[in-house]
Amino acid sequence: MSLRAIDWLPDSVCRWTPLPMAGEAIVLPEAEAELVVDVAERRRGHFIAGRVCARAALAELGHVDAVIGRTADGAPAWPDGVIGSIAHCGDAAVAIAASTQHWAALGIDIEIDRALPDDAAAYVLDEAQCARLAELPGGLARWALPAFSAKECVHKCLQPLRGLFLEFSEVAITFSMDSDRYTVEAKSARAQQAMAGFEWTGELRRFDGLLLSLLAARRL
């Protein structure tokens, strides 16, 4: 299944699938299957669905039969010339891939679109961020999950790009009320340093009871 074209992401392809995946058993390339030998069935299903989406996106970019390994940090290992990101939640898996010609890092996250529990919101958002989101239409109940999801995208971009593991408090997310866009603000010196030199574009989409966040970094 494809998502609406992402017009601001040239040469990118995004694919998603509902979970559990229907159809015959999917056979992964051996190098991928080895990555989920001793894991629970549910985790294996999510992994497979993510890889299926990623492979479909890569095929459309001309990388047919690609094998998507895993880095030591858990990130997908993309073929040369491509970057991307994978996510899954209880109901869906999604992947995006794009040419490195245009983008230095991509992050994607998918969540079931429901209010984030209060304790989780308190963990990922400090008081100032909670207060800002509470003022938006729908309040914290509507915006805490998107803020969490956007921060997951920050991690998925920055960790492979800079080898850096930021705390949730080190960035703040601001949502546009006129568009689907969001911006990421660095709140610590090392977040500022890590984000410098790139233009960051974030987008949020709600569809089919799901919430999808995307973040892309373009080298300045």
Ligand X SMILES: CC(C)(COP(=O)(O)OP(=O)(O)OC[C@H]1O[C@@H](n2cnc3c(N)ncnc32)[C@H](O)[C@@H]1OP(=O)(O)O)[C@@H](O)C(=O)NCCC(=O)NCCS
Site string for ligand X, 33-62 (x = CB under 6 A): -------------xx--x------------
Q: How far is the CB of 159 from ligand X (least distance, A)?
A: 4
Contact 165, 74 (CB under 8 A): no
Asked if residues 215 and 194 have their Cβ atoms less than 8 Å apart, the reply is no
Whose CA is closest to 151, among 119, 113, 184, 123?
Answer: 184
Residue pair 49/90 in contact (Cβ under 8 Å)? The answer is no
15 contributes a contact to ligand X by CB under 6 A? no
212 pairs with which residues across the strands?
Answer: 110, 205
Q: Which of 32, 113, 152, 203 binds ligand X (CB under 6 A)?
A: 152
Q: Based on the shown chain and the rule CB under 6 A, indicate whether residue 16 belongs to the binding site for ligand X.
A: no
* Contact pick of 15, 55, 63, 155 for ligand X (by CB under 6 A): 155
Nearer to ligand X, 61 or 75 (CB): 75
> Does residue number 171 form part of the binding site for ligand X (CB under 6 A)?
yes
Is 156 an interacting residue with respect to ligand X (CB under 6 A)? yes
**Binding piece for ligand X, criterion CB under 6 A, among 1-9, 16-24, 165-173, 207-215:** 165-173
> What string of H, E and C letters represents the secondary structure of 106-174?
EEEEEEECCCCCHHHHHHHCCHHHHHHHHCCCCHHHHHHHHHHHHHHHHHHHHHHHHCCCCCHHHEEEE
What is the binding site for ligand X (CB under 6 A)?
46-47, 50, 73-76, 85-88, 109, 151-152, 154-156, 159-160, 166, 168, 170-171
